[in-house]
Amino acid sequence: MSGQCLMLVSEHVRIQNPGNSGGVLLDSSGNLIGMNTAIYSPSGASAGIGFAIPVDTVKIIVNTLIQSGKVVRPILGISYLESKQARTLGIGRGVLVLDVPAGSPAAKAGLKGTRRTETGLIEIGDIIVKVGSTVIDTEANLFEALEGYQPGDMVEIKVLRIEAVNDRLEQREVKLSIQLQSSEILEQPVPIQRYQYSQ
């Protein structure tokens, strides 16, 4: 798993039996409206709230699978702090960037990650608050916004940047243009560093 949540999952109320996942979800007229994926059942029985991927999302994924045999998603190529954890740090909105790999398109565009200073203090990285015209409150918003693009596309991103100016912390908005990467880079093996020990 890439850590990416599945977007645009709809809730439905109907009888859901074991084995229904992956099956069709029809409306009362027999029209396809989604694909069943899971059920939340407080009792453990086949009763509760069912979840399905909307048919528009299914169409995009099916067409992509037919054309290329796999689903490739656009990504920024960064690591981030989950929103729930960011809220405990007092970050009320947006997605806090933790790491921006050196030499990546995000790094070349000027996106800044969180880092520890030489004195041991934590310097907060950029906080992504907008992608294109979509306001970003959580990582779910970020993934949803990126789904409208393709790998290689340039995307306009607005971030909040906190900087020390004259012994005071100041926050300002910065606009960046970043080329999206392919999720295929997540499938590449991480090189193993070999160490030689002298005897």
- Tens-place pLDDT, residues 170-184: 889 999 999 999 888
Whether 95 contacts 163, CB under 8 Å: no
Q: Tell me the two tokens of residue 138.
A: 């959580």
Given this model, what pLDDT does residue 132 score? 95
Given this model, what pLDDT does residue 81 score? 92
Whether 127 contacts 87, CB under 8 Å: no
Whether 42 contacts 32, CB under 8 Å: no
Rounded Cα distance, 5 and 7, in Å: 6
Given this model, what pLDDT does residue 11 score? 47
Rounded Cα distance, 148 and 143, in Å: 9
Helix or strand (DSSP H, E) at 142: helix 139-146
pLDDT per 10-residue tile (average), the chain, 199 residues: 44 53 82 82 71 82 84 89 89 94 93 88 92 93 89 95 80 94 74 52
At residue 85, the 3 state secondary structure works out as helix
Is 22 buried (19+), middle (13-18) or exposed (0-12) by CB count in 10 A?
Answer: exposed
Given this model, what pLDDT does residue 167 score? 74
- Tens-place pLDDT, residues 99-126: 999 989 999 999 999 988 888 888 899 9
